[in-house]
Structure 1
């Protein structure tokens, strides 16, 4: 995992084991709320095969984007990115199966293969993103490791800044952050309840708070990476990047809510209200995520 095309064969076994351990820790850290959520178990039970296939494709594309722009060194080849993304999905599936089996949410003897696969695949997609982030973020430098991102702090910052100035990188990292944070809440009934009971003034306040949170996190929080965002007019940069983060958060919220069937039998206003309600959390993930999960 997180390997370079050259030299990966000579990588010590101990280093590989540490990377796998970080991936497992990250997968569980970021996805345990979903693994313990009843609505997700039910969604896996009723999910159609085409929906599961779509989720697998979307997750794999997110992993490719994260590994390309943040999870691996800038000189890593696309081959390494593809291989590591498949590896992370495999670990996510194995972790999901093990945890659900431990929690007695799946039973090999009494459940159909379709039900088991639905639950495991649905949970595994969130776990695999956590695996990728955990592998990249939870490690510390080791002397002599050619893959180590901490080999030189100055070089690392320059490399990361160069990769993440593009709008594509910002979009990918914001989307990963929104899915990772907002996805833990999307399947719950509370989002529907809040959206249905909220008055228009409440929805307006939620949207305003979401935008203000994005501005505060990206420009005034002094988070790691927030100082490299300005490239021209301050007002223009704030407006552009804030709108970009919020639109990505709303798009991620809409996809998650649609996948979990939260738009069924809902009118346009109630569906939009759900997106804005979940967008409060997703916007925090979108803005903070692209600064923190690097």
Structure 2
């Protein structure tokens, strides 16, 4: 076998190993807070099978969306996107299992299968999103020029679309908001907050979205046109905030924060968490694209 043939055979393996390494680093980087959160362990303990199935489906759809609109392979086929998403979810499951086992949060003996699977699956969903982001973003320096070209292609095709921005915003909102949703502080703030506080939080969320969306839209070549500047900023801000509220409601519901509370307390929790989630929804399009 010639040297050139060896290079052709060995290079894909090296590139795959680098991608896996970046994915592992990203998965741990974005999910370590949840891996160390007691409320998430408890959620895994009490989770019902249907809840886990819903979480897996939602996470897989997010992975598909992120890999399609913001992944490192803008020209990749849907088949490749499906396969990459399955791989990332598999890595997330393996990482979650290894970390939880190391932290003694799961045991191979003396623990029911339902509890073990519940804890691993819930943690793995956050880890798998981090794996996807890490694979796409933590590239080597020698690939910067190639990545810049691919970035421009994505901006002109996928990221410029409202669907692409929605998917990236949803990923950012769930990553940021999901780290706080299981904690008691959210419901504590919501219960003690007066209507004026809730209104102030909503206004603050919108202001943060306006500022971040404004600067993110003017970064790069995919910014809003000067002819429709006010419309673009208003539309993107509203879309980011509504996406953040939807993501906040979903993660709060999943972690059981709506059980046994009044509508006002549930609504207040969504607004409280929406302050963080709105930052993730708007800034997430910058930080994870």
Same fold (TM over 0.5): yes
- For the Cα contact (< 8 Å) 2:26–2:138, is it kept in 1? yes
TM-score, length of structure 1 as denominator length: 0.91
Matched, 1:228 2:222: yes
C-alpha distance in structure 2 between counterparts of 1:104 and 1:130, whole Å = 22
2:255 to 260, 264, 270: 260
Aligned residue in 1 for 2:190: 195
- For the Cα contact (< 8 Å) 1:141–1:149, is it kept in 2? yes
Change (3 A) 1:152 1:94: closer
Unaligned stretches of 5+ in structure 2?
1-7
For residue 291 of structure 1, report the CA deviation from its aligned partner: 1.8
For residue 157 of structure 1, report the CA deviation from its aligned partner: 4.0
How many residues matched? 280
For residue 149 of structure 1, report the CA deviation from its aligned partner: 6.7
- For the Cα contact (< 8 Å) 1:224–1:292, is it kept in 2? no
Change (3 A) 1:9 1:78: farther
Aligned residue in 1 for 2:269: 274
Change (3 A) 1:9 1:191: farther
C-alpha distance in structure 1 between counterparts of 2:73 and 2:265, whole Å = 43
Aligned residue in 2 for 1:4: none
Aligned residue in 1 for 2:39: 39
Change (3 A) 1:180 1:150: farther
For residue 214 of structure 1, report the CA deviation from its aligned partner: 0.8
- For the Cα contact (< 8 Å) 1:140–1:150, is it kept in 2? no
Aligned residue in 1 for 2:208: 213
For residue 9 of structure 1, report the CA deviation from its aligned partner: 7.6
Aligned residue in 2 for 1:70: 70
C-alpha distance in structure 2 between counterparts of 1:233 and 1:99, whole Å = 49
Unaligned stretches of 5+ in structure 1?
1-7, 143-147
- For the Cα contact (< 8 Å) 2:217–2:224, is it kept in 1? no
Change (3 A) 1:46 1:64: same
1:167 to 154, 162, 167: 162
Aligned residue in 2 for 1:288: 283
Deviations 1:60-90 (A, max 9, x none): 0000000000013221000100000000000
Coordinate RMSD, CA, aligned: 1.7
Matched, 1:180 2:175: yes
For residue 224 of structure 1, report the CA deviation from its aligned partner: 4.7
Change (3 A) 1:164 1:207: same
